[in-house]
Amino acid sequence: MCGIVGLYTKTEALRPTLGQHLSEMLITMTDRGPDSAGIAVYGADTPGTVKITVQADDPALLSDLDVPGAAIRIVDTHAVLSLPADTAAATEAQLRATPGLRVMGTGSRIEIFKEVGLPVDVSRRFGLPQMRGTHGIGHTRMATESAVTTDGAHPFSTGADQCLVHNGSLSNHNSVRRRLAREGVSVSSENDSEVAAAYLTHAMAGGRDLGQALEGALDDLDGFFTFVVGTRTGFGVLRDPIACKPAVMAETDDYVAFGSEYRALASLPGIETARVWEPEPAKVYFWEA
């Protein structure tokens, strides 16, 4: 089941209200996924600075965070640490080793927030309508292959400024997981979607761009899936060759939008004159600034 939304702005017009539009789109997809929800938003970057988003079930762990040189912004069960790039890797390793903390994502622009609960509650808790940025993706989950947990919620991020949301199921994710492990890539959750995210990150680390990595997924990942992927400057969409999961896209001079159903796009400005289409099976769609 699950619901996916995404919005990639091509001009400045929608960037101040990106979060508002993503929130409305996400909440519209509630009946496709009432178990948990999450969003990734790409905001402004500061040269020489890296952001690390962490989550804790116990808010006291966030209040007690003491990271030298880091500015810490607490948002409900998450905290965004902004720190010098040359200390980010060591800090991330320290955070990952701290009991009770989960690293949601890192990068110069990305912030990821996800929790168990209805999309309307998740959006409110993290202040999604007030967020601004160039692009963002969101997911509402109906758990089928693993437990309803924060770990199982989307988006999944396995590389700097990269994330993925997924609707569907991969039949060969365990074999891909083992192959990635042999090549030094670990996947922490049981979710097949994190395997897909790690696959794309690994492919891009090997020199492919996002479009080429998505092309490779058609050969290496089996099952039925719709992927929406974000990078620091890009936005990509891919459906499997059967394409049994619903998907619709819309494009204007100001934006490109994705929704599992058209109703997720219906409130976007200019939708009445947008080019609206169903993305073709096994075709990579990719926009980049």
Paired sense of beta strands 110-116 and 78-84, if any: unpaired
CA distance 103 to 27: 25
Query: Angle CA(31)–CA(35)–CA(38) in degrees, nearest 5?
Result: 95
Tell me, yes or no, if 163 is annotated catalytic. Answer: no
Catalytic residue among 1, 2, 185, 240: 2
- 267 to 25, 37, 249: CA distances (angstroms): 8, 20, 14
Bridge partners, residue 223, by sequence: 170
The beta strands (E) that lie in the chain are given as 3-9, 36-42, 49-56, 71-75, 78-84, 101-107, 110-116, 135-141, 156-159, 162-170, 223-230, 234-239, 248-251, 255-259, 275-277, 285-288
**Token pair listed for 112:** 């990821």
CA distance 180 to 199: 7
User: Virtual CA dihedral for 156, 157, 162, 167, nearest 10 degrees?
Assistant: -10
Residues near 213 by beta carbon (within 8 Å), at least 6 away in sequence: 199, 200, 203, 204
Q: What are phi and psi of 62, to 5 degrees?
A: -75, -40
Asked if residues 82 and 46 have their Cβ atoms less than 8 Å apart, the reply is yes
| Active-site amino acid positions | 2
